[in-house]
């Protein structure tokens, strides 16, 4: 199963039936304005990069990462294919595309996405009966009726129309049925609306809302990268240094998570390590870890005092040379 950070304990549905639960997401990194040609931002006179991650919440690994300029849409970095088989992918609205959802389904994968405000598919049938004078939804468009509903959940089958990828110079339209689920927000009068292809026999509306909360894990990854490994403090004006700092932060994150796995194995079962507390602890011990790692790998740095003396000697030795150079340069040339 997933670890306790990834999926809340309240999920009754069988999460283990998926090979992996994947989360796709991106975050913006603000860069020095001198890099605006290399990393174009949404606003003029700014520079911004975007880090796109495909996070495997089951294995606790980053499966794919891409760095683009800020203007590149998250959605273009997600490729469908046979790798999706038996995997569940969680998306936010940035990835919303009916054609993408159809291809995931056709590759025997599963998805849950938030329903985009502008997406208004037509309800074909309701997937559960409501007693009494419930408003019938068949034939309606979701956003037209959602404000009038008071039931705890919405669970309907919708039909969506979309363009297939052009093939042989022709563009074809297609339709596909998906499931739309609404879960009432706590202390609010409206719903979280999700679109999915998970079967209603196995996954209740409440299960979908709970599983979708796993997406918070990738937000924690981004927050850890920015707060602990200074991924939002790029002062450099050099493109290659941006990449070095980015990979250094990602490697730090991976090492931190590997050590967290070790700590979890070693500690008593009832001990819980909040990821952000762990990240701060890891960072505060980073120098010590590097020192121990260096000793283990056989790297012995020269004694500190010897290094100081050696470096100070270099400065001293350079001065007479510099004085001679200046003296030579300022002497009047003798005419032959």
Residue 279 structural domain: 229-301
Q: Among 93-97, 101-105, 156-160, 322-326, which is the least confidently predicted range?
A: 322-326
Q: Does the residue 37 lie in any domain? A: no
Beta-carbon count within 10 A of 13 CB = 16
Helix%, strand%, coil% for the chain, nearest 5? 40, 25, 40
pLDDT at 333: 57
The full length of the chain comes to: 336
Q: Does the residue 48 lie in any domain? A: no
pLDDT at 167: 79
pLDDT digits (tens, 9 = 90+) for 242-301: 889 888 888 888 888 888 888 888 988 888 888 788 888 998 998 898 888 888 888 777
Query: Burial code of 154-184, b = ≥16 C-beta within 10 A, e = fewer?
Result: bbbbbebeeeeeeeeeeeeeeebebbbbbbb
Q: Are 96 and 119 in contact (CB under 8 A)?
A: yes
Q: Are 175 and 161 in contact (CB under 8 A)?
A: yes
Q: Does the residue 87 lie in any domain? A: no
Q: Are 84 and 107 in contact (CB under 8 A)?
A: yes
Alpha helices, DSSP H only, in 135-238? 142-145, 205-212, 216-227
Q: Does the residue 233 lie in any domain? A: yes
Class of residue 75 by CB neighbours under 10 A (exposed 0-12, middle 13-18, buried 19+): middle
pLDDT at 1: 35
Class of residue 268 by CB neighbours under 10 A (exposed 0-12, middle 13-18, buried 19+): exposed
In terms of pLDDT, which residue wins out, 324 or 308? 308
Band of pLDDT at residue 140, cut at 50, 70 and 90: low
Q: Is the pLDDT of residue 336 over 50?
A: no
Q: Does the residue 318 lie in any domain? A: no
Q: What is the mean pLDDT of residues 32-61?
A: 87
pLDDT at 233: 74
pLDDT at 329: 65
Beta bridge partners of 47: 31, 40
pLDDT digits (tens, 9 = 90+) for 216-242: 889 988 998 888 887 877 888 898 888
Token pair listed for 302: 């020269």
pTM of the predicted structure, to 2 decimals? 0.77
Q: Are 94 and 75 in contact (CB under 8 A)?
A: yes
128: left (phi over 0), alpha (psi -120 to 50) or beta: beta
pLDDT digits (tens, 9 = 90+) for 91-138: 999 999 999 999 999 999 999 999 988 887 888 877 666 554 555 666
Q: Does the residue 185 lie in any domain? A: no
pLDDT digits (tens, 9 = 90+) for 175-187: 999 999 988 887 7
Beta-carbon count within 10 A of 111 CB = 24
* Structural domains in the chain (count): 1
Band of pLDDT at residue 318, cut at 50, 70 and 90: low
pLDDT digits (tens, 9 = 90+) for 58-104: 888 889 989 888 888 888 889 999 999 999 999 999 999 999 999 99
Q: Is the pLDDT of residue 335 over 60?
A: no
Q: What is the mean pLDDT of residues 142-165?
A: 78
Q: Does the residue 248 lie in any domain? A: yes
Q: Does the residue 127 lie in any domain? A: no
pLDDT digits (tens, 9 = 90+) for 171-215: 789 999 999 998 888 777 788 899 999 998 899 998 999 999 989
């Amino acid at each position: 199963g997933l670890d306790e950070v990834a999926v809340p304990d309240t999920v009754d549905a069988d999460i283990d039936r998926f090979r992996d639960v994947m989360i796709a997401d991106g975050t913006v990194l603000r860069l020095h304005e001198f890099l605006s040609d290399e990393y174009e931002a949404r606003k003029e006179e700014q520079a911004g990069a975007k880090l796109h991650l495909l996070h495997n919440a089951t294995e606790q690994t980053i499966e794919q990462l891409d760095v683009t300029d800020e203007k590149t849409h998250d959605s273009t970095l997600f490729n469908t294919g046979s790798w999706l088989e038996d995997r569940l992918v969680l998306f936010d609205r940035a990835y919303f595309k009916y054609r993408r959802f159809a291809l995931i389904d056709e590759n025997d994968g599963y998805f849950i996405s938030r329903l985009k405000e502008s997406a208004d598919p037509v309800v074909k049938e309701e997937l559960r009966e409501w007693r009494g004078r419930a408003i019938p939804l068949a034939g309606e468009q979701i956003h037209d009726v959602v404000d009038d509903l008071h039931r705890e959940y919405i669970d309907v089958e919708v039909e969506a129309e979309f363009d297939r990828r052009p093939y042989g110079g022709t563009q074809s339209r297609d339709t596909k049925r998906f499931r739309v689920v609404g879960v009432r927000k706590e202390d609010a009068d409206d719903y979280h609306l999700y679109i999915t292809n998970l079967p209603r026999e196995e996954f209740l509306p409440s299960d979908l809302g709970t599983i979708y909360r796993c997406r918070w894990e990738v937000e924690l990854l981004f927050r850890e990268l920015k707060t602990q490994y200074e991924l939002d403090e790029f002062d450099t004006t050099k493109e290659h240094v941006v990449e070095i700092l980015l990979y250094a932060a990602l490697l730090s994150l991976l090492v931190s998570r590997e050590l967290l796995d070790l700590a979890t194995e070693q500690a008593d079962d009832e001990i819980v390590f909040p990821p952000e507390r762990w990240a701060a602890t890891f960072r505060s011990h980073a120098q010590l870890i590097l020192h121990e790692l260096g000793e283990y790998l056989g790297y012995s740095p020269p004694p500190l005092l010897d290094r100081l003396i050696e470096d100070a000697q270099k400065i001293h030795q350079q001065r007479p040379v510099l004085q001679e150079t200046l003296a030579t340069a300022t002497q009047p040339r003798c005419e032959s």
